[in-house]
Amino acid sequence: MPTRERMARNRLIAPLAARPELWRLTRRTVPRGVAVGLFVGIFLMIPGLQVIGAALLCVPFRANIPIAAVSTFVAIPPTIVFMILPGAAAIGNRFGYHADLAAVTAMIERGASGAQWLAWISSDAAPSLALGLTVMAMVAAVLGYAVAARVWRWRVMARRRHRLHDALARALHKSAA
């Protein structure tokens, strides 16, 4: 994970490092970062581009860049193969498209040419997966935002309860003395 200082030295991405609100952990930036990271991680299943895409989307959404970058790692190869692609195909197929994942795995195994991939993209499978990935990414982003906001609130309330308990204990100790 690149640090803020390392990013500041790169002239192309220095504007991201110059905005401190994109690096702070606050009740607003953390849930936004989770949502952006989950959306990009699921929708843009290209490992190198996920973190870059999430960092760039953090700017308009004013989200936390490190949280978004870490959240993209929900789409690692095992989850892509066993959960995300089959789920996206099932969702897309419910909208009337037909995605056959067996054809995709066969193309990957035999090292399909660019022309074969273009033929597959023009078939019914690609729109099915694109629609399914979009729906999955949006649902994951909304759920991720809600869970992160709830966890953040729970932690803040637990800290407040702890401080109140300590203050009451000190007050009782003072009055007893």
pLDDT at 75 (0 to 100): 85
pTM over 0.85: no
Q: Is the Cβ–Cβ distance between 63 and 21 less than 8 Å? A: no
Domain of residue 61 covers: 4-176
pLDDT at 73 (0 to 100): 92
Give the DSSP H or E segment for 26.
none
143-168 pLDDT, tens digit each:
999 999 999 999 999 999 999 999 99
Beta-carbon count within 10 A of 30 CB: 21
**Higher model confidence: residue 32 or residue 97?**
32
**Which of 47-65 are b and which e, b meaning 16 or more Cβ less than 10 Å from the residue's Cβ?**
eeebbebbbbbbeeeebbb
Calculate mean pLDDT across residues 127-133: 89
Q: Is the Cβ–Cβ distance between 7 and 55 less than 8 Å? A: no
pLDDT at 109 (0 to 100): 82
Q: Residue 1 pLDDT > 70, yes or no?
A: no
Q: From start to end of the chain, where are the E strands? A: none
Domain count, the chain: 1
